[in-house]
Structure 1
Amino acid sequence: METCDKAAFRSYVDVLLDRLDAHAGRTVLRYLDEDVTGAAFRASIYRYARALASFGVTRHAFVAMFAPNCPDALAIRYATNLLGATTMFLPAIESAEQRAAFVTRMQPTLLIAFAQTKHLVPAHSGAQLAYVGAGPARLRLDIRARVQHDLPVQSRARPDDLAVVVSSGGSTGAPKASRRSFAAYSTMVSAPSPEDRRQLVNGALAYLSQVLVDNTLSGGGTVVLKTGYDPADTLATIEAERITDVLLVEPQLFETMDHPDVHRCDLSSLRSIAHIGGSAPAILRRRAIRRLGPVLTHMYGASEAGLVSVLTPSDYLVDASLLDSAGRIRSGVDVRIRRADGTFAHHGQHGAIEVKSKAVAQGYHRQPIEAAHKFRDGWCLTGDIGFIDAKGYLHVTGRGGDVAEIDGAVIGPAQIETPLCALPDVRYARAIASGDAARGYVWDVVVVPWTGRRVDVARCMRALESACGASVAKAVRMAALQRVPLTEQGKVNRAAITFRCRDASKRGLEGAVSRSRLNAPSEAPA
């Protein structure tokens, strides 16, 4: 474990450690209102590397974590990769049975849990266990790390070795686990990043959050870690920490932009609010820009496909109609649209989106059947439907299951949500593929009212029929809720939406909803 000559290959961790050394006295992480300097974080990585080695972690080992947003989780991840081993942040799957099955399928060498996450550890995972902040002393990784010295540890990473396994959100079923080598992942996070960047990370350490953290730290910036998402806290943190960059999935973006504090907080430090999700209606994006300023950056991609396209302020400030799109396809990314008959589409023709680039995952980890359906000849079959317009901008109509052709028109969630969000009483609407297609439903739709307003579902259905036609309206089952149910990663909880729509249908609920919580958005859009 002593220092020796560096290997010719330099992984992203080597670059990051060099940057921490160069900025030893600067704050690189903010957590629970405390500063972590470059020197302290670098020392923590080396100490954890030695502690992991004492647990038998070597090159080709696989370390999986049920991890909260905290510096220790990041340090353990980097230490694992420094040893040439694979790392993964495990999803907090709600079902204990499904969570145990997923962990067993991943087959980690070492399974690490924290005080906040120890309840997630399956009873019989088959993996060696270690803990941080909890558990018996003999299994305490953090206790072992404290007694290690912090001299540099030689990187054992090799370009073709497996570096990271990233879980999908699992919103459409069991999570998928995409994998990338050290060479592939190091390339992915090597984009230039300014040293004065202050990145807020307030959600689960999922795929894009990991990339943003790695990119920010490698560029010499600062990451502000929060234990979870809350709209009021997000706005307060942006003001207090002078945040320049934040990532929000679409439901979080709309919760944040509609919160009453948006008018009271100083958000002038913001340069970019990156939001992910392929098909948000332009009416909501326009409202976000009015309330938050021209800092909205829409990104389309997935854990399997990498980042595919980006819509920047420089695009939509010149041409507002581009707010209907997912932006311009990134350099180095090939996108093709495959029609139902197997032929490739021309501009403006809908079809299945397929992606090829260096950022595409190299398959799924221990999920060969799923991988065979997702990856073919270097192409990632996203499962989304869309088209490329004459200007080269990508339009994402929605997931394949969320899109249907009715009366000759291709209808996706945005086409349903747009007329609903235009109603004065509706703050937000979300459409997904119905969980009861056998009963004739194509979409389950939830509508959320402004505080103090009442949503009339019958009126919503009439507006939908007027905009999309009677056939579409008949294919929709709708419920009015105070909040859209979300998953751990902030995405819409599809199973919960289907349950609520099914329940509303059974009880014949087509009336109004009660007042939202006192801290909910309190005004309709101007």
Structure 2
Amino acid sequence: MLDLLAAAGQRPVFEHGARLVSGAGMLDLVRRLAAGLRAAGIGPGDGVAMMLGVNPEAFAANIAGHVVGARVVGVRPGLPEAQTRHVLTQDITAVVTDKDITGPTVLSLNELVTASANEPELLARPDNVARLIYTSGSTGIPKACAQTYAAMSSAWTARPDAWPPAIRELASRLSRYLVFGSLSSQVMMEYGVLTLAAGGTMVVADPPAFPDAIVRLRASASVITVPRLNKLVAAQRESPVDLSSLRALMVSGSPLPAARLREALDVLGPIVFHGYGQTETGTISMATPFDVPGSVGFPPDVIDVQVRDGNGEPSPPGVDGELYVRTLRRRPGTGRSRPRPRRCSSTAGYARGTSATSTQTAGCT
């Protein structure tokens, strides 16, 4: 990530209103925030909760947390009080925030960024947990999914030479990628890093109203949920606006019925990508606008997928079953325990494999 920012130089990588931050400027923010964290006693293995908005300093703070080798925990805005309390009591050393919050473990982002920028010393240890990504908590207490620094380093997001074909197609469309809601979102952050690796700019959508933000900010790409996509399609049918800048909508969070996808492609054009994955596994596969509706594309070679029957045995092509995924990237955990690599995880959704190894889903994503 630091190499990406250094290579960007004076090219804008983050746009927030009238403010443009270059790669060199973002790297300076990362260096200052890393120095501030070290001065506050934060180092390898320490849990750091990020309660931040969507701005250049918030993005830099997440990167700085990894520079000092901390275990970074993003706290989603709007989380109920009980769930927030649960997250913040899971071996958290400090809370970094740009909110008006005080406490013995609270570090002000505005104060941290005043530190002198030094050449960052990477303190991360491969086996340490790099970040905890929490599930939504829709069924109770959010569950943490742990990812080590070794696993994070193996990810293809920041390495164009390792991009699967669908990601390479998507990356070519990320010249102006909208960010909103929270940078602690795994989806928002990963596509943000992909944008920078592709030579694009992260653009803050404030407010994130569609289609207004797309038109106003000349956005080329954004993530979008299925309900929001349906609303955008309906609005474009009823009162069309100029969406000529838009080249990619990455749909995730729930299944996209084939009929809905066909309608979206008909109204919006060939711009809809359908990502399939979960918090525990990250992206499993992605369908491009040119894939058959109903498919979620082809998993890259580094991810093993298998459709199994009710007895846990492999299902033959064309037969429904439950999808199992094996990945190096993460597993559910508390953060202090070392994640086991190559863990097999059920997606809790149903799927059908084809002889060409693409996947059709009939359950949750």
- TM-score computed with the length of structure 1 as normaliser: 0.62
Matched with 2:299 is: 329
For residues 364-411 of structure 1, the C-alpha deviation after alignment (integer angstroms, 9 at most, x for no partner) is 22598xx99xx89621122112221344321221149xxxxxxxxxxx
Matched with 2:308 is: 338
Task: From the superposition, tell whether residues 307 and 57 of structure 1 become closer, same or farther in structure 2 (CA, over 3 Å).
Answer: same
Give, in angstroms, the shift of residue 230 of structure 1: 2.0
Q: For 1:468-487, what aligned pairs fall within 5 Å after superposition?
A: none
2:346 aligned residue (368, 381, 394): 381
In structure 1, distance between residues paired with 2:7 and 2:285: 33
Q: What secondary structure does 1:46 align onto?
A: helix
Give the conservation status (yes or no) of the 8 Å contact 1:208–1:303.
no
**Root mean square deviation of aligned Cα:** 2.8
Give the conservation status (yes or no) of the 8 Å contact 2:325–2:347.
yes
Give the conservation status (yes or no) of the 8 Å contact 2:219–2:246.
yes
In structure 2, distance between residues paired with 1:312 and 1:218: 19
For residues 43-64 of structure 1, the C-alpha deviation after alignment (integer angstroms, 9 at most, x for no partner) is 1111111111121111221211
In structure 2, distance between residues paired with 1:229 and 1:239: 11
Task: From the superposition, tell whether residues 94 and 49 of structure 1 become closer, same or farther in structure 2 (CA, over 3 Å).
Answer: closer
Matched with 1:274 is: 250
Task: From the superposition, tell whether residues 239 and 261 of structure 1 become closer, same or farther in structure 2 (CA, over 3 Å).
Answer: farther
Which consecutive residues of structure 2, in runs of 5 or more, have no partner in the other structure?
161-170
Q: Which 4+ residue blocks in structure 1 deviate beyond 6 angstroms? A: none
2:37 aligned residue (36, 52, 70): 52
Give the conservation status (yes or no) of the 8 Å contact 2:226–2:255.
no
Matched with 1:216 is: 195
In structure 2, distance between residues paired with 1:42 and 1:22: 10
Matched with 1:199 is: 177
2:334 aligned residue (350, 361, 365): 365
Q: What secondary structure does 2:305 align onto?
A: strand
Query: Which amino acid is 1:364 matched to?
Result: G
Higher share of residues assigned helix: 1
Task: From the superposition, tell whether residues 379 and 239 of structure 1 become closer, same or farther in structure 2 (CA, over 3 Å).
Answer: same
Matched with 1:64 is: 49
Give the conservation status (yes or no) of the 8 Å contact 1:20–1:220.
no
Which consecutive residues of structure 1, in runs of 5 or more, have no partner in the other structure?
1-15, 132-140, 316-321, 401-526
For residues 330-376 of structure 1, the C-alpha deviation after alignment (integer angstroms, 9 at most, x for no partner) is 332211122222322112222221101333x14322598xx99xx89
Task: From the superposition, tell whether residues 258 and 111 of structure 1 become closer, same or farther in structure 2 (CA, over 3 Å).
Answer: same
Matched with 1:405 is: none
Give, in angstroms, the shift of residue 210 of structure 1: 1.2
Task: From the superposition, tell whether residues 72 and 50 of structure 1 become closer, same or farther in structure 2 (CA, over 3 Å).
Answer: same
Give the conservation status (yes or no) of the 8 Å contact 2:304–2:327.
yes
Note if 1:289 corresponds to 2:265. yes
Give the conservation status (yes or no) of the 8 Å contact 1:201–1:246.
yes
Matched with 1:109 is: 93
Give the conservation status (yes or no) of the 8 Å contact 2:129–2:336.
no
Q: Relative contact order, CA 8 A, sep 6+: which one is greater? A: 2
Give, in angstroms, the shift of residue 155 of structure 1: 1.5
Give the conservation status (yes or no) of the 8 Å contact 1:239–1:267.
yes
How many residues align? The count is: 353
Give the conservation status (yes or no) of the 8 Å contact 1:160–1:183.
yes
Query: Which amino acid is 2:300 matched to?
Result: R
For residues 216-261 of structure 1, the C-alpha deviation after alignment (integer angstroms, 9 at most, x for no partner) is 2244321012245322xxx233334332221112222222222259
Task: From the superposition, tell whether residues 262 and 334 of structure 1 become closer, same or farther in structure 2 (CA, over 3 Å).
Answer: farther
Give, in angstroms, the shift of residue 156 of structure 1: 1.5
In structure 2, distance between residues paired with 1:386 and 1:249: 20
Q: What secondary structure does 1:247 align onto?
A: strand
Query: Which amino acid is 1:225 matched to?
Result: V
Q: What secondary structure does 1:323 align onto?
A: coil
Note if 1:41 corresponds to 2:26. yes
- Structure showing greater radius of gyration is 1
For residues 62-85 of structure 1, the C-alpha deviation after alignment (integer angstroms, 9 at most, x for no partner) is 211122211111111111111111
Give the conservation status (yes or no) of the 8 Å contact 1:195–1:220.
no
Task: From the superposition, tell whether residues 217 and 314 of structure 1 become closer, same or farther in structure 2 (CA, over 3 Å).
Answer: same
- TM-score computed with the length of structure 2 as normaliser: 0.87
In structure 2, distance between residues paired with 1:228 and 1:208: 19
